[in-house]
Each structure stands twice: as structure tokens, then as C-alpha cells.
Amino acid sequence: MQAKAVVLVSGGLDSATVLAMAKAEGLDCYALSFDYGQRHRAELDAAKKIAESLGAAAHRVISIDLRQFGGSALTDDSIAVPTSDAASFEEPDPAAAEIPITYVPARNTVFLSFALAWSELLQAQSIHIGVNSVDYSGYPDCRREFIDAYQNMANLATKTGVEGNALTIETPLIDLTKADIVSKGVSLGVDYGSTVSCYQADSSGRACGKCDSCHIRRCGFEAAGIADPTRYVA
């Protein structure tokens, strides 16, 4: 029997790559997405498409409402999404970065907790999440020490863990640049044209080309020397 894995799939570039990598390892993959009050649904449409095209055994979308707590540009309409200087193609320096306004409080903690619930029921052996040093850029819950602490806690939290069947939290992208990630995904056949990274994509999933997330993504394709398949608005 194939080992089971829960894979967090947002609809973006990173998590699509993570899913492709887990499939390439021969894992039976259960894709998990969240409807958490994002500004657009195009991400979730993309997640569904990606889960299907990469052969996930199942795909679940969990509705949670972080808007009830407010406090982030990604979930609070009263805060503007910051934009990058589109002329600059340098990747941001994670060490120098301040915690950005697009930070959603405890987001990965919340997402991993649902993944943990599902993985216990599935008796999955691992949870895969696409955190990496570029996406980090100031997000506390994208760092390795957070992931290690989460894994330790998870194995004390569940029946499965207590019975000695250790669960691992896999972060295959954590040390990769965006260019490395793109190259890896292309080699595994990921169709990045169906992924959505933009913080303010339109309803059909077309990217603004201006926000930090678009900027980082475009830099990745540039640096990898791969044509950018992103569908932009203009």
C-alpha cells in the first residue's frame, strides 16, 4: 500500500510544485485547500484544477473565517495590498525584510492544524507544505524552527502520534529559490499557467503583475530562464 500524504494546495506556484514532488515520490496524495476569506476565488479554482491534473486521491476545501479577527491586507478590505516596483527583478532579502502587512495571523498554524486532523483520520505519514525562504520574507510561520516545533507538537497531539506512528511535516521547498522551484516543477510537468500567485487576481485568475507575489513569481521565471506562463490582466 502506498504511504498517504496530506498536501496543502493553495492554487499557487509553490504548493503545486510540492504536490508534484510528493506524487513523484510515489505518495498517495490528499490535497487540502482553505477558503479563508481571500479576496478572490480564482486561487481555489486553480487548486481544484491542480489537484486533479496532478492526480491527487482527493481534494477538500475547508471554509474558515479569519476575517472575523481582521488584521491583514489579505483578509481585510480596509487595508491596501502593497505593490512592488515592477522594474526591479531582484528577489527580496528575507533576512532584511520586515513582517509584511499581507501577513495573516497564525495562518500556517491554523492550516497545519486542519491538515493534522485529516492526516490522523487518513493515517497519513506526512504533511507537505510549500514554505520557502523567499515566501518567508518576514513571515514567522515559514521558518524551519517553526516547522520543527509544529512537528514536535503534532506528535504529542494525536492518537496516531501517541501510538508511536510519527508524522513528519515535509517542506521540500524551504531552501530553494523561486528559480529552483520553477525548474523543479517544469521538470515534473507542472502546468504553472493554471496556478495563481497574485494577491489580487481577477475572477478568471489573471494576475495584476504589480503586487509583491507577482513580482517574486516573475523573478523566478526570469532567473530560471523559463518563459513566464502567467496570464496577466494587461
Residue with Cβ nearer a second copy (59 or 215)? 59
Q: Round to whole Å and give the CA distance between 72 and 129.
A: 21
| SS3 assignment for 62-122 | EECCHHHHCCCCCCCCCCCCCECCCCCCCCCCCCCCCCCCCCCCCHHHHHHHHHHHHHHHH
Member of 37, 43, 54, 146 binding a second copy (CB under 8 A): 146
Does 162 participate in binding a second copy (rule CB under 8 A)? yes
Does 57 participate in binding a second copy (rule CB under 8 A)? no
Find, among 167, 170, 141, 171, the residue nearest to 154 by Cα: 167
Does 150 participate in binding a second copy (rule CB under 8 A)? yes
Does 149 participate in binding a second copy (rule CB under 8 A)? yes
What's the Cα-to-Cα distance from 227 to each of 48, 182, 207, 224, 234, rounded to whole Å?
Answer: 24, 11, 16, 9, 17
* Residues in 16-55 that interact with a second copy by CB under 8 A: none
Total residues at the site for a second copy (CB under 8 A)? 43
Does 89 participate in binding a second copy (rule CB under 8 A)? no
What's the Cα-to-Cα distance from 64 to each of 8, 33, 38, 47, 80, rounded to whole Å?
Answer: 15, 11, 10, 16, 22
Member of 154, 190, 211, 219 binding a second copy (CB under 8 A): 154
* Residues in 172-231 that interact with a second copy by CB under 8 A: none
Computed on alpha carbons and rounded to an integer, the radius of gyration of the chain in Å comes to 17
Could you give the 3-state DSSP secondary structure of residue 49? Answer: helix
In this structure, the number of other CB atoms found within 10 A of the CB of residue 65 comes to 10
Q: Give the H or E element holding residue 144.
A: helix 144-157
- 92 phi, psi to nearest 5 deg: -65, 155
Task: Fill in the amino acid letter for 233.
Answer: V
Stretch that binds a second copy, among 125-133, 143-151, 195-203, 210-218 (CB under 8 A): 143-151
Stretch that binds a second copy, among 77-85, 99-107, 180-188, 198-206 (CB under 8 A): 99-107
Member of 91, 120, 170, 212 binding a second copy (CB under 8 A): 120
We find the least distance from the C-beta atom of residue 85 to a second copy, in angstroms, to be 25
Stretch that binds a second copy, among 8-16, 83-91, 96-104, 212-220 (CB under 8 A): 96-104
Does 136 participate in binding a second copy (rule CB under 8 A)? no
Does 156 participate in binding a second copy (rule CB under 8 A)? yes
Residue with Cβ nearer a second copy (104 or 134)? 104
Site for a second copy, rule CB under 8 A: 60, 62-66, 68-71, 99, 103-110, 112-114, 116-118, 120-121, 140-141, 143, 145-146, 149-150, 152-154, 156-159, 161-162
